[in-house]
Amino acid sequence: MSPATAGDVRLVDISKSYDGVPAVEAVTLEVPAGAYCCFLGPSGCGKTTILRMIAGHENPTAGEIRIGGKNVVGLSPSARRTAMMFQSYALFPHLTVRDNIAFALRVRGVSRAERHRAADQMLEKVRLTELAGRLPGQLSGGQQQRVALARAAITEPLVLLLDEPLSALDEQLRVQMRQELRRMQRELGITFIHVTHSQQEAIALADMVVVMAKGRIRQAGSAREIYDAPRDRYVAEFLGGQNVLHYEIDKVNGASVLLKGPEARSIEVPLNGHAGKLALVAGAPIDVAVRRDDIQLRRPGTAGLPGTTALSARVKAVEYQGYFVKVLLDAGSADELVAYVSERDFFRETLDVGDAVLATWKNDLSRLLVLGDG
Amino acid sequence: MRRYRRPWTFYALLALFVGYVAALYGPMLCIYVLSFQDVRGGLVFPMKGLSVHWFVDLFTQVRTGDVKGSFDRSIKLALMVMAITVVVSFLAGLGFRRRFRGDGVVFYAMIGSLVAPGLVLGIGIGLMFQFLGIQPSWTTSALGAQLSWTLPFGVLVMFAVMSRFDRRWEEAARDLGATRWQTVRLVVLPILLPGLIGVALFGFTLSYDEFARTLQTAGSLNTLPLEIWSMTLNVTSPSLYALGTVTTAISFLIIALCLGVIIHLQRRRAARADMGNVAGTEGPTP
Amino acid sequence: MREGAATRFAGLHRFASWLSITPLVLVLVPFFVVPMLAVVAASFMESDGFGGIIPHPTLDNYKELFTSGLTLNLYLSTLKFTILTWIFTFLIGFGVAYFLAFHVKSPLLSTSLFLVCTIPFWTSNVIRMISWIPLLGQQGLVNMVLTGSGLIHQPLKFLLFSDFSVVVAYVHQLTIFMIVPIYSSLARVDKRVVEAALDSGASNWDVLRLVILPLAKSGIALGSVFVTSIVMGDFFVVKVMSGGNSGSIVAALFENISVLQYPTAAAQAVVLMLVVLLIATIILRAVDVRREIAR
């Protein structure tokens, strides 16, 4: 087994139920060694359960977990070379920072001098050397997180598991600490699996984002893939930044498909490789995603450009967001339609609530979504 | 401006509180004061003289009864009860963390043991020993009877202490490679130490002062409370008060010692109690 | 195999729990369960008059007990003390607990004052009881102060060796049992709830009645169980503080023991415990005590 693959994590058809209630269902996933992988989803979606199963703190009801090619189910956490950073850190309140970090070595029987040396090295990596003699109760949230990280990393694990590490911090600190985590991961060179409910955090940090809902994976891929090309309505709505519109299939038109909308409106959406995968039955319902920042607002009555769709809409609300303005529109259907207009563009010609506009977008920028199961 | 002016209820309750504490400690203080009378002293005020006569009298006078011996036995018994109570309560506290079959039965048996009239239980134990043909004695039947009183307290204290113990500390230890025994030794015990000292305190003082259950089970040799009891029934001189002063002083000493250790441990541990290690994800404190 | 691993861990944990509980059970069974059963058993047997027990089942002990007028009197007398004690320990205990929980602002001070209240509990209760004697007697301190300052001309007789002194001794000893559970219940009340209630126009009395008392219910219940069962089961406070004027159920029981009438005493004990159990059950019905304690 080459060192390059030693830290890859493979979930093979993993399931977990508690008293017959499924928390995780038939999850299969492959995380390459050295990747920063984020599990993203609302609370109760099973992401923490999966993390704990990889860590060895829970056992799957079925399925295999392979780390570095070896099935680790049934092994203790230290035997499987994983280490976990707990939510709220779980630092031992009665031990100093140095002793907290050295703990893993202590239970392995390493001599005091040696383990203090190793701990001090770790302290340098997380830049907390002056706090070595303090107690956890005397540290700030960010400092505690670094100690927790050092404590987990000292065992030189193959995979580091992080359970919502930034949730307990306030906004500004969170953004700062994100960079710390990324830096540490690059320096240590090991696989990080990080569980979070914040999509912003996930797409900022991760090489690989895994979106989960109700115990199943909805989509796994790079951050850009997930954000720009969501697979289904759930992912699109969870990641934010997308409009999801409901239409009915009219007919296929070469490389794109014509869809019928409310008030007999028709739009054209490129197939983009969905041809073989979707059941393109006339009359069947389908979802379409259009990025909010891809919508251009024009005056009503402006001539339509070729290859674009234009919907008449009325401005429902306007929300200033700093570098962009969020405009909520009513296009006559039940779907929510939102446009992100760059701030400078907006203030060139301001819009008020009640104004009529044309919401336009290039057809190429719209995407078909797989109908998820809710 | 409710906040800046205390309502009248504050003063009323303050008066109640002060009155309560005064009534709580006051009578005892009278006893202590009266025990320092000289040889002319009687059982009531006014106080006659000032000396340690009655203390000397207590320990040197030949009388029916054996103050020194019972004092000795009480301390030894209390130490034994304390040790056993700490160990058993600790284990039981750990055991009760998960639900298991019969946990309700054990819990209610414990509460029953607490609430049962001491004398009745003492009689029952005496009867049991009689049925079995074993002679009751302060090292066996009284020990057991006192444990039936101290253990429920100890376990209840452990419940309170455990509820503030974050199980993730144990998980973290396990995650870092500690065996179950190492986890207990290096993480659980040190963190629970103040609570365990509290249990020890309970164990010692409850045993040291235990009366009703011990009455029927002590056998032929008295413990101190039994000795006090027989003196109470025949009280004729302030030597009884002297005994009261001495025994209370011992109790206060033990209490001060244990509390001192607990405070010392707490001070060393937490400078700020509300950062990070609180179980759950509370945000920044308001 | 994976299934096995999962259930094996669960089984191990359960076994470990049982193992942990074993020492406790090893004490409770021989020193609580069996003695209680022995008492129940003995209540159905005959006495040979010399302290021995003939294992001959009979209901005579109970018959005697229920037909004797003495039993009823004793129960009434003890119940009277129980109710009086309960009332005063509740009023004082709740007041003190409320003061500590709501009027003392610093948690450190609150805890320290609470400890100050509990410390006497850890000293001998016999001593604490007799310490009232030099205070309440006809030549006691209280009377001396009252006559000395001219408020009264004759020393008050009722202060000592009377019902009054019995209740005083009980309240002195047992208020702590009310304070502790009520204080811990009140300490968990979110102060903001009280603020919200006051903001919406409730009077202080309303807040007490509708918000605080319900939240303190479990503490009050627990305290009440302790107080009532201790008073019902007491034998020496009544004896000493009433100067022998009043008896109690257990004191009568004790007398039977002294003359080696074990079966009779056992029957009295069984009836007493049933009554105490009844009272405790009534009190606890409203509240799930275990959840409160084990939280």
Residues 6+ apart with CB under 8 A from A270: A255, A256, A363, A364, A366, A367
CA distance B175 to chain A (A): 5
- Joined tokens for residue B265: 């441990």
Cα atoms in the Cβ-side hemisphere of radius 13 Å centred on A145: 21
CA B76 distance to own-chain centroid: 15
Determine the average pLDDT of the residues in A307-334: 89
Q: What angle do CA A153, A156, A159 make, to 5 degrees?
A: 80
| Nearest residue of A to residue B185, measured between CA atoms | A107
Cβ <8 Å between C36 and B116? yes
Higher-confidence residue: C56 or C183? Answer: C183
- Is B30's CB within 8 Å of C135's CB? yes
Give residue A171's pLDDT band: very low, low, confident or very high (50, 70, 90): confident
Pick the closest to residue A200 from A173, A165, A238 (CA basis).
Answer: A238
Interface of A with B in 219-278 (CB under 8 A): none
- State which residue of chain C sits closest to B85, comparing Cα positions: C24
C157's tokens: 């007789």
Give the Cα separation of B103 and A91 in Å (integer): 31
Domain regions of chain B by residue span:
73-268
Average pLDDT over residues C213-231: 88
Is 90 exceeded by the pLDDT of residue A229? no
pLDDT at residue B150 tops 90: yes
Interface with chain B: mutation pick from A87, A91, A92, highest number of B CBs within 10 Å: A92
Set of chain C residues whose Cβ sits within 8 Å of the Cβ of A19: none
Which of A87-91, B23-27, B252-256, C91-95 has the highest average model confidence (pLDDT)?
C91-95
Residue C87 has pLDDT above 90, yes or no: yes
Q: Within an 8 Å CB–CB cutoff, is residue C5 touching chain A? A: yes
| CA-wise closest residue to A87 among A120, A55, A64, A118 | A55
Predicted TM-score (pTM) of the model is 0.80
Paired sense of beta strands C53-54 and A337-342, if any: unpaired
How far is the CA of A273 from the CAs of A283, A287, C69, in angstroms?
20, 16, 98
With residue A29 as reference, give the H or E element that holds it. strand A21-31
Nearest CA-CA distance, residue A141 and chain B, Å: 6
Tell me how far the alpha carbon of residue B72 is from its chain's centroid.
18
Q: Does A151 touch chain B (CB under 8 A)?
A: yes
Q: Which of B25, B31, B121 sits opposite C35 (nearest CB)?
A: B121
Q: Mean per-residue pLDDT for C263-277?
A: 88
Interface A-C: count of C-beta contacts within 8 A: 18
pLDDT band at B286 (very low <50, low <70, confident <90, very high): very low
Q: Model confidence at B277, in pLDDT bands (50, 70, 90)?
A: very low
Q: What radius of gyration do chain C's Cα atoms show?
A: 24
- Cα–Cα distance list, C143 to A99, B124, C138 (Å): 65, 43, 6
Instruction: Write down the pLDDT at residue B266.
Output: 80
Interacting residues of B256 by C-beta distance below 8 A, sequence separation 6+: none
What's the pLDDT at B284?
37
Q: Å from B68 to nearest chain C CA?
A: 17
pLDDT reading at A262 higher than 80? no
Candidate from B50-64, B89-103, B169-183, C122-136 with smallest mean pLDDT? B50-64
Contacting residues for C62 by C-beta, under 8 A, at least 6 apart: C43, C267, C271
Mean pLDDT of B170-175: 91
Q: How many helices (H) and strands (E) does chain A have?
A: 9, 20
* Residue of chain A nearest C3, judged by CA positions: A61
Domain ranges of chain A: 3-233, 234-300+307-369
Contact check, Cβ <8 Å, C9/A59:
yes
Q: Report the pLDDT averaged over residues A46-72.
A: 91
Q: How confident is the model at residue B148 (pLDDT cuts 50, 70, 90)?
A: very high
In this prediction, residues A295-320 reach a mean pLDDT of: 87
Rounded to whole angstroms, the Cα distance separating B128 from B59 reads 36
Placement of tokens 């060393």 in the chain = B268
The distance in angstroms from the start CA to the end CA of chain A is 41
Nearest C-alpha in A relative to B178:
A107
Contact B123 C125 (CB under 8 A): no
Say yes or no to pLDDT of C3 above 60.
Answer: no
pLDDT band at A47 (very low <50, low <70, confident <90, very high): very high
Helix (H) or strand (E) holding A338: strand A337-342
Using CA atoms, how far residue B263 sits from B186, B193, B203, B266, in Å, is 21, 11, 19, 5
Q: Does A141 touch chain B (CB under 8 A)?
A: yes
The verdict on a CB contact (< 8 Å) between A90 and B277 is yes
Is the pLDDT at C253 greater than 80? The verdict is yes
Nearest CA in chain A to C10: A59
Residues paired with A163 in a beta bridge: A195
**Cα separation, A188 vs A105, whole angstroms:** 18
| CB-based contact B17 C132, cutoff 8 Å | no
User: If pLDDT is split at 50, 70 and 90, which confidence band does C283 have?
Assistant: confident
Tell me if A73 and C2 make a contact (CB, 8 A cut-off): yes
* Confidence at residue A315, expressed as pLDDT on a 0 to 100 scale: 92
Give the closest of B169, B186, B269 to A90, CB-based. B169
Fold of C69-293: MetI-like fold (1.10.3720)
Chain A and chain B share a number of CB contacts under 8 A equal to: 108
Of A110-124, A147-161, C61-75, the one with minimum mean pLDDT is C61-75
CATH topology of domain A234-300+307-369: OB fold (Dihydrolipoamide Acetyltransferase, E2P) (2.40.50)
Over range C160-187, report the average pLDDT. Answer: 88
CA C6/CA C4 separation, integer angstroms: 5
Q: Count other C-beta atoms under 10 Å from residue B122's C-beta.
A: 26
Inform me whether the C-beta atom of residue B286 falls under 8 Å from chain A C-beta atoms: no
Sequence-distant (≥ 6) Cβ neighbours of residue B152 within 8 angstroms:
B110, B111, B113, B114
The first and second tokens of residue C61, run together, are: 């002990």
Check if A3-233 and A234-300+307-369 are the same fold.
Answer: no
Q: Report d(CA C25, CA B37) in Å as an integer.
A: 49
A21-31 β-sheet, strand order? A21-31, A9-18, A62-67, A70-71
Indicate the residue of B171, B275, B283 with minimum beta-carbon distance to A137: B275
Cα separation, A236 vs A230, whole angstroms: 5
pLDDT of residue C228: 92
Return the pLDDT at A38.
96
Alpha helices in B164-223 (DSSP H): 167-175, 180-183, 189-209, 212-217
Convert A259-281 to b/e letters by CB count within 10 Å (16 or more is b): bbbeeebebbbbbeebeeebebe
Q: Do A84 and B172 touch (CB under 8 A)?
A: yes
Residue C53 has pLDDT above 80, yes or no: no
Confidence grade of residue B130 (pLDDT, cut at 50, 70, 90): confident
Q: Chain C residue with minimal CA distance to B243? A: C127
Token digits of residue B140: 């066996």
Predicted confidence band of residue B270 (pLDDT cuts 50, 70, 90): low
Peptide bond into B286 cis (omega under 30): no
Q: Min CA distance, B62 vs chain C (Å)? A: 22
Mean pLDDT score across all residues of chain A:
88
pLDDT band of residue B280 (cuts 50, 70, 90) is very low
User: Which range, A328-342, B42-56, C85-99, C269-283, has the best average confidence (pLDDT)?
Assistant: C85-99
CA atoms within 13 A on the CB side of B25: 10
**Residue pLDDT, tens place only, B3-53:** 556 677 888 889 999 999 999 998 888 888 888 887 777 777 777 778 888
Which of A103, A156, A161, A173 has the most B C-beta neighbours within 10 Å, making it the best mutation to test the interface with B? Answer: A103
Task: Check whether B215 has a pLDDT greater than 60.
Answer: yes
Tokens matching residue A24: 């995780």
Percent of chain A's residues with pLDDT above 90: 43
* pLDDT above 60 for C69: yes
pLDDT in tens, B47-102: 777 888 878 877 776 665 678 888 888 999 999 999 999 999 999 998 888 887 88
Q: What value does the mean pLDDT take over residues B154-169?
A: 88
pLDDT of residue C7: 47
Q: How far apart are CA A119 and CA A104, in angstroms?
A: 10
Confidence category of residue C154, pLDDT binned at 50, 70, 90 = confident
pLDDT given for residue C2 in this prediction: 40
Chains touching chain A, criterion 3+ CB pairs below 8 Å? B, C
Q: Kindly report the nearest CA distance between residue B72 and chain C, in angstroms.
A: 16
| Binding-face residues of C in 6-25 toward A, CB within 8 A | 6, 9
The pLDDT, as a whole number, for residue A373 is 53
Q: What is the pLDDT of residue C170?
A: 92
Residue A233 has φ and ψ, to the nearest 5°, of -60, -40
**Tokens for C94?**
């709740």
Chain A residues in contact with B175 by the CB 8 A cut-off are 55-57, 77-78, 82-84, 152
CA distance C56 to C20: 40
Instruction: Report the pLDDT averaged over residues A130-146.
Output: 89
User: What's the CATH class of domain A3-233?
Assistant: alpha beta
Helical (H) or strand (E) element with A220? strand A216-221
Would you state the torsion angle of the CA atoms of residues C155, C156, C157, C161, taken in this order, to the nearest 10 degrees?
A: -120
Q: Does A85 touch chain B (CB under 8 A)?
A: no
d(CA C281, CA A50): 45
Whether the Cβ atoms of residue C160 and residue C140 lie closer than 8 Å to each other:
yes
Q: Please give the residue of chain B at the shortest CA–CA distance from A58.
A: B171
Above pLDDT 90, what percent of chain B? 22
For all residues of chain B together, what is the average pLDDT?
82
Closest Cα to residue A353, out of A322, A318, A321?
A318
How far is residue C34's CA from residue B124's CA, in Å, rounded to a whole number? 8
C263-268 mean pLDDT: 86
Of the candidates A93, A104, A167, which has its C-beta nearest B191's C-beta? A93
For the cut 50, the answer to whether the pLDDT of residue B274 exceeds it is no
Instruction: Examine the pLDDT at A370 and tell me if it is beyond 90.
Output: no
- State residue B281's pLDDT score: 37
Q: Given CB atoms, is A103 within the 8 Å cutoff of chain B? A: yes
DSSP tag of A370: B
The CATH class that applies to domain B73-268 reads mainly alpha
Q: End-to-end CA distance of chain B, in Å?
A: 22
Q: A177 or C143: which carries more pLDDT confidence? A: A177
> Distance (Å, rounded) from C-alpha A163 to C-alpha A161?
7
Give yes or no for residue C290 having a pLDDT over 80: no
- Residue A252 has what pLDDT? 80
Shortest alpha-carbon distance between residue B176 and chain A (Å)? 5
Average pLDDT over residues C115-126: 84
- C-beta of residue A158 within 8 angstroms of C-beta of residue A125: no
